[in-house]
Amino acid sequence: MIHFSRSTQIQAQAQARAATRPFVQQLWLAASLIVVALVWTVSQAVAEDEKIITSYFYSTIGEPKYPEDFPHLSYVNPDAPKGGEYSVATVGTFNSMMPFSRKGDPAALASVMVERLMETALDDPNTDYGLLAEKIEYPESRDWVIFHLRPEARFSDGTPLTAYDAEFTWSLLMEQAFVSYREALNALVESAVALDERRIKYTFREGVPRDGLIPQMGSNAVFSKAWFEETGTRIDESGPTAVLGSGPYMVDKVDFGRSVSYIRNPDYWGKDLPINIGRHNFDRIRVEYFGDSNAAFEGFKAGSVTFRTETDSKIWATQYDFPALNDGRAVKKELPNGSLPRASGFAFNLTKPHLQDIRVREALGLMYNFTWTNETLQYGLFNQRSSFWQNTEMAATGVPTGKELEILQSVSDLIDPALLTDEVVMPHESSTRQLDRANLRRASALLDEAGWDVGDDGIRRKDGETLKLDILEGNPQMDRLILPYVENLKRLGVEATYNRVDPAQYTALTRELDYDMVFDDYITAYGPGLGYEQRFGSKDRLEGIFNPAAFGNEAADKILESLKFEGDAETFIGAARALDRLMRAERFIVPAWYNPSHWVAYYDYYEHPEELPTLALGVRDFWWSNEEKYEALRDAGAFQR
């Protein structure tokens, strides 16, 4: 468990989403998580009446961990050898190499080639250090920022990466990115102009709070202007061609629907930067696609892939008993996971009329039994989630006080008055029996109150309509966890059904919000950002990507304003607690479980530093291959291709 004290205030970003999640979700989350910006000055020079700050970093709070002449990040092995292969499995298929479009199914890691102006260290999440940019320049007012690009920066085809490419990228995003993204950024940024080959200047609009804008610009990717103009590629369309990037990896082989691999660029321009020493160590990254999760696990057991992050407790507890593991070719480990857990659970689709009554949602939620599920089906390996900011000081507790209470009072005309005085909503408690009869009685009373009466056949109806709940899922490993919930719902008089479909159908149905309930998650972070509006705001609630419950609330919209970048750390923490309290009271997601550990298994040639950074496992980032062990396993026939 991590506790973030007032002295440390807010961390910058949550751990990145899993590598094989749809990349349409990753780009805009990574680009829109904006940290609170409190300036720490390195050097100052006077330009007219205003001081100009020039720095190799931008820190949100306090001093950076790493000085300007740091040799490498503290959590890497600077002598890590290059070589070997990192290979993983994913379930489903893909038909596109364009990771930034909602159209098509992009390949896993299809954005791995793209780099950003600045990067955050995993052990110093309050600070952005230069990557493509060697330094930044901005006035005390933070009305603008200039990024000085490194003269050695190159795209993987050897062509120079310049400020004109950065200017082109901004224009491309403002034309073809998600509407919500470009509208939000356009409201903040007046212009993005290349001053010369090495300098790109972003000027911010008048009247816009300055906190968070510089880190947001630092998270900007840079595309090749010449490549896009030559190919005519659009980022809002799917396509078979990978984007030309400047990163340490390039596309190697693509077998659509089956596998994709990337190779380390031996001529990568940034391989000797201190921020990169000891990182990007594998010669090849390979992702194999399987029809379902069982096939993916069998692929790992057979050596078709060599690294696996386990998410299924039953498999972790009972099925890691196979020759490769028993004879030492593979290993199984639990590593500490200090990252902010996803707010996962059973999300109600609030566009459905019968689910808009909070009494109905509370009643249906009471039928989920975490205690029995965890002890009986999950081997007691999980903790129960209560907050959207679990295990941080942003989680609401007890009754509201201080800044949290002040923010809630500012929207008092839009919320239940009980939010100002009552204890925060916690997950209901359940017995060790599958059906908790006390919760069944409470749920029955709520549905009776809401007008859903029980008929002679035991089914609840209102105005001639049957109370139905269709639970959508695409992973067969969820069957054993969801079916008992379905049984409990039926005991309540609900016509509950479990609709498990193939991955392609699941993607299509979730994008169209075509379900009553789905097991999904919400992502929060240790700092403010525009991304909260995409996940919890009313405007984009029907997008079907970031907001699986289609949650929208006028009071939440107002609180979200404080979660962008206005105010100080105290304001953000208070706003996060206020939003957490409000959303938990709305009961639009039934809290499920989270795992305080990384469950990993891999063939015994992977190695990592003894101490891992708190916020990430970092396998692709800073682990490495023991080439002698890799070759021995390969020669022994441990791997199948």
Mark 422-458 as b/e (b = at least 16 C-beta within 10 Å).
Answer: eebbebbebeeebbbeebbeebbebbeebebeeeeee
Of the pLDDT bands very low, low, confident and very high (cuts 50, 70, 90), residue 208 is confident
Mean pLDDT of 319-323: 95
**Cβ neighbours for 159, distance < 8 A, ≥ 6 positions apart:** 224, 226
Tokens 């993916």 sit on residue: 296
Span 404-463, pLDDT tens digits? 999 999 999 999 999 999 999 999 999 999 999 999 999 999 999 999 999 999 999 999
Per-residue pLDDT, 339: 83
Span 73-86, pLDDT tens digits? 999 999 999 999 99
Per-residue pLDDT, 61: 65
Tokens 């250090």 sit on residue: 129
Span 494-510, pLDDT tens digits? 999 999 999 889 989 99
Residue 222 has pLDDT above 80, yes or no: yes
Q: Amino acid letter at 472? A: L
Does residue 451 or residue 125 have the better pLDDT? 451
Class of domain 343-594: alpha beta
Of the pLDDT bands very low, low, confident and very high (cuts 50, 70, 90), residue 570 is confident
Per-residue pLDDT, 101: 83
Q: In this structure, what are the phi and psi dihedrals at residue 591, rounded to the nearest 5 degrees? A: -60, 140
Mean pLDDT of 612-625: 93
Of the pLDDT bands very low, low, confident and very high (cuts 50, 70, 90), residue 41 is very low
Measured CA to CA, the distance from residue 219 to residue 553 in angstroms comes to 29
Task: With beta carbons less than 8 A apart as the criterion, state whether 59 and 126 touch.
Answer: yes
Q: Where are the domains of the chain?
A: 343-594
Mean pLDDT of 464-485: 95
3-state SS of the chain: helix, strand, coil percent to 5?
30, 20, 50
Residue 31 has pLDDT above 80, yes or no: no
Q: Which of 248-252, 495-499, 635-639 has the lowest mean pLDDT?
A: 635-639
**Mean of per-residue pLDDT scores for the chain:** 89
Per-residue pLDDT, 532: 85
Exposed/middle/buried for 8, CB within 10 Å: 0-12, 13-18, 19+? middle
Mean pLDDT of 139-144: 94
User: H/E element holding 39?
Assistant: none
Q: Amino acid letter at 428? A: H
Say what the pTM is: 0.74
Q: Which of 205-209, 249-253, 394-398 has the lowest mean pLDDT?
A: 205-209
Task: With beta carbons less than 8 A apart as the criterion, state whether 196 and 167 touch.
Answer: no
Residue 2 has pLDDT above 60, yes or no: no
Q: Tally Cβ neighbours within 10 Å of residue 579.
A: 28
Per-residue pLDDT, 368: 98
Of the pLDDT bands very low, low, confident and very high (cuts 50, 70, 90), residue 63 is confident
Residue 281 has pLDDT above 80, yes or no: yes
